Amino acid sequence: MRGERRTPDPASDPAPAGSAPEELRPPSVFRDDSSRLQDPEGLSRSMLKLDYAILILSVILLWIPRPWMSRGRLGGEKRRSASPPAAGPAPDSPLKKAGGRTAYMRNYDLDFIREVKDARNWLDFFRALVAGYGLFESGIAGVALVDLPLAQSGPVIAAQIAVVAVAVALQVPASAERGVLHCHAPVFFIQGLLFGLVDWRAGLVAAAIAWTNTPLLKTPLTFLPVTGAVAALFSLCIDVHPVYRFTALGVTLLPVGQALLMKERLVTGMTRKLPGRDPW
């Protein structure tokens, strides 16, 4: 009878397209791809969860410049009361002088033994590693960003890239002494960052290959780009999104570009020759 509701039989009485009973219709957000894009709020908010506490702490760790990690900088300790350092070398000495204070020799080549003995390098490595995992892994829960529509994932991915770019840029300028600047090569910082940026396996392989070939890659000018290239190539085997792959390559090239703009060579460290203040 007209107006009487009956259960449709798919075999004998198939319902016309688009006229299925209301109780049998799936939710509109799961109907097809076009309807999914029409309801981005419910989909993205239910599947993507941001831990703002972890993200903020990660940004703070990444954005601490290397000079601040020296003794007294973060704690606000003043050194004006320290005893005057010994007089520096003669003006024609090859050592770098700064304001008449202790002289330091700039190290332009990488030395594996010297670098691994420097505790500040490991501090850079582990803070970048922990903050990188917080920024790219533990701070973002639910669905992977690359699996979401670009309208929802784009701003978050762009913010991640901006954070790591600023973080690396902040590590390069380092004050040697009283306004005398040099470009520090943040080798350990970048290698720790790659563990979270691409994948721990790609970061480990890139670091191992780069340090194994240190006799060939003597300077950061070649060491850093090779590290980024190896990480990007190896990430092809572990299904890393191209956005993060190119970001890994970009952050290794950034210090090289900064050094060219500042017309300075990348320095791996400073060797103190006379008693006095630490330049970092």
Low-confidence ranges of the chain (pLDDT < 50): 1-5, 26-41, 71-100, 177-178, 276-280
Residue 14 confidence (pLDDT): 54
pLDDT at res. 21: 56
From the number of C-beta atoms within 10 Å of its C-beta (0-12, 13-18, 19+), residue 189 rates as buried
Report yes or no: 182 and 70 within 8 Å, Cβ to Cβ: no
Query: Do the domain assignments include residue 83?
Result: no
Q: According to the model, what pLDDT value does residue 264 have?
A: 87
Residues shown for the chain? 280
Indicate the pairing of strand 48-50 with strand 266-267: unpaired
* pLDDT of amino acid 11: 54
pLDDT in the model for residue 273:
58
How many domains, the chain?
1
Confidence at residue 101, expressed as pLDDT on a 0 to 100 scale: 52
Residue 39 lies in a domain: no
Domain hosting 235: range is: 47-66+119-275
The predicted structure's pLDDT at residue 263: 87
Burial 79-108 (b: 16+ CB within 10 A, else e): eeeeeeeeebeeeeeebbbbeebbbbebeb
Residue 14 lies in a domain: no
Query: What pTM value is reported for the model?
Result: 0.71
In a domain, 181, yes or no: yes
Answer yes or no: is 280 within a domain: no
Residue 214 in any domain: the answer is: yes
Please say whether the dihedral angle defined by the alpha carbons of residues 193, 244, 239 and 135, taken in this order, is positive or negative: positive
Considering the domain boundaries, does residue 240 fall inside one? Answer: yes
Residue 244: name the closest of 189, 196, 191, 204 by CA: 196
Would 105 be classed as within a structural domain? no
Provide the token pair at 107. 């190290």
